[in-house]
Amino acid sequence: MLKCDSLSVYYGKTCAVHDVTFSVPEGKIVALVGANGAGKSTTLKTISGLLRPSHGTITFNGERIDGMRPRDIVARGIIHVPEGRRIFPGLTVRENLEIGACLRCDGKASLERDLQHVCQLFPQLAKRMNQLGWSLSGGEQQMLAIGRGLMAKPKVFLLDEPSLGLAPVVVEKLFEGIKQINAEGLTILLVEQNAYLALNTADLAYVVENGRTVLHGAASDLLKDESVKRAYLGG
Ligand code: ATP
């Protein structure tokens, strides 16, 4: 469904992503795991059009999307849920969710249905519809960021570090939601520093080191891989 082929991305003269190739099959969760600064977020930003690759191609359902404007990429259903949530702190939960739907041109009824779906997925948000974004806990803000993404009617989700800074019990709830939306058919490209969590959630995974993919395979196989265990799973 989504394919990055020999992707290289630079910040000025610094190469952050070097010759990266991977694909995300429809309906699957694919994880990019790796340490801080490995190039994972840069890869997601390049797919969503915030950065331009210097080499390589990105295709979505066979169509080249590298070089397209971010809004045209969003219009194709590629939705980025960024690291750090980036919700609008001065808007209510409902307004944040409605912003996610700003490029849609289907009717009010369908929008309301999707709002209900987000509320069913994350009941905590349902209780806070009129509360301002800044007043939510970190976990609720992450649920809101995912909910806002869902309101855009995604075909593929680019999920950047959803567990960052959250308590284990909150992470557990959040990942139940992530698994549910995948079970409902949403394809997910997941970036996570928590390799254990990522590999237990994903179908397939790529290990990224210094801007390169060094290993890939079924997530369940990588969980048993000795080099992955040593480097990312605490031995
Ligand atoms: P993290 O989880 O910490 O964000 P990451 O794997 O997502 O790690 P990136 O954020 O993609 O890594 O960073 C890859 C490399 O690019 C790092 O060396 C980082 O310092 C560098 N980098 C990231 N953003 C910029 C920027 N705006 N300008 C210059 N260099 C950058």
Of 8-17, 97-106, 167-176, which one has max mean pLDDT?
8-17
Q: Give the total number of structural domains in the chain.
A: 1
Report the distance separating Cα 186 and Cα 180, nearest Å.
9
Q: Out of 25-29, 73-77, 104-108, 197-201, which region has the weakest mean confidence (pLDDT)?
A: 104-108
Closest CA to 215 of 38, 61, 49: 38
Report the distance separating Cα 50 and Cα 132, nearest Å.
27
Ligand 1 centroid to residue 38 C-alpha, Å: 7
124-172: pLDDT as tens digits? 899 999 999 999 999 999 999 999 999 999 999 999 999 888 888 889 8
Give the predicted TM-score (pTM) of the model. Answer: 0.92
Helix, strand, coil percent content, the chain, rounded in steps of 5: 40, 25, 35
Q: Give the nearest ligand 1 atom to 83 CA.
A: 4
CATH number at residue 155: 3.40.50.300
Q: Best of 9, 10, 11 to mutate for ligand 1, by most ligand atoms within 8 A of CB? A: 11
The whole domain housing 49 covers 2-232
Q: Out of 1-15, 36-50, 135-149, 219-233, which region has the weakest mean confidence (pLDDT)?
A: 219-233
Q: Give the nearest ligand 1 atom to 34 CA.
A: 6
